[in-house]
Amino acid sequence: WDETHFGKMGSYYINRTFFFDVHPPLGKMLIGLAGYLSGYDGTFPFQKPGDRYEQHNYIGMRGVRLCRLVSSWLAFLCLSIQMLELSKSLPAALLTAFILIFDTGCITLSQYILLDPILMFFLMGAVLSMVKCNSCADRPFSASWWFWLSLTGVSLAGAMGVKFVGLFVVLLVGLNTIYDLWDLLGNLSLSLVMFGKHLLARVLCLIVLPLALYTAMFAVHFAVLNRSGPGDGFFSSAFQSQLIGNNLHNVSVPE
């Protein structure tokens, strides 16, 4: 059922048809983009689970181009987190990656048009970036420190932009940041000016940057979906008047 739902959302993006859904737009936009780049024309109806795709080019959305591609990176991210930062043990890292590679759930999820592989990619990317940034704590404000801190913010925006369950990794990074700042505040050799710089850097990279990217996702979402569709009724008459094909299109609507 989920593949039918998200496949239809991808088709809406290709056809630029407006719709309403409970999830943020990033994952569905990526599915639509993968379908578009692989030659899918958005004509498959996605009416019910089990319908045959027949001549429709669904491969790009389902596995080869997107879901399977991001799933293939999960084991590498897991290996990097374990071996490079947490356990620092190659056997433990290999065992963790092996378990993930042969996990039935991950194998199944990577074969269909779903948001979960994309979500897991951003979740693990955020955790890896966070622990890599922690490893640079002895050289703050260096190029690598800024890179990993900024990448953490980008990954947080990605996780939140796919599903709201990404809030859990935001909570994880937030707690880690609070602990880090508390530890810096207790360092008597650190001036208040320097502590303020640390605080400002984290506000910029972990709050302002993710919020800006998250807002930009919706800007792209509304810019692409400019045709009337099944989600019109959830929005105001003024908004509906901007959608091509809507009964109110280009009609003067009083404030």
The pLDDT of 40-50, averaged and rounded, is: 73
Domain range holding 138?
2-239
Summarised one tens digit per residue, pLDDT across range 47-65 is 777 767 677 766 666 654 5
The answer to whether the beta carbons of residues 32 and 10 sit under 8 Å apart is yes
- In terms of pTM, does the model score above 0.85? yes
**Total count of residues recorded for the chain:** 255
253 is a domain residue: no
Confidence of residue 1 (pLDDT cuts 50, 70, 90): low
What is the distance between the alpha carbons of residues 61 and 4, in angstroms, rounded to a whole number? Answer: 12
**Which pLDDT does position 5 carry in this prediction?**
74
82 is a domain residue: yes
Q: Residue 231 to residues 15, 105, 182, 240: CA-CA distances in angstroms?
A: 14, 32, 46, 10
Mean pLDDT of the chain, nearest integer: 85
Q: What is the dihedral of CA 30, 69, 87, 105, to 10 degrees?
A: 90
191 is a domain residue: yes
Backbone Cα Rg of the chain: 22
251 is a domain residue: no
Residue 213 pLDDT more than 80? yes
What is the distance between the alpha carbons of residues 246 and 134, in angstroms, rounded to a whole number? Answer: 52
Q: Which candidate, 122, 129, 205, places its Cα nearest to that of 166? A: 122
Q: How many structural domains compose the chain?
A: 1
Summarised one tens digit per residue, pLDDT across range 91-115 is 888 888 888 888 888 777 777 778 8
196 is a domain residue: yes
The answer to whether the beta carbons of residues 83 and 89 sit under 8 Å apart is yes
132 is a domain residue: yes
What is the distance between the alpha carbons of residues 117 and 11, in angstroms, rounded to a whole number? Answer: 19
**Which pLDDT does position 161 carry in this prediction?**
95
102 is a domain residue: yes
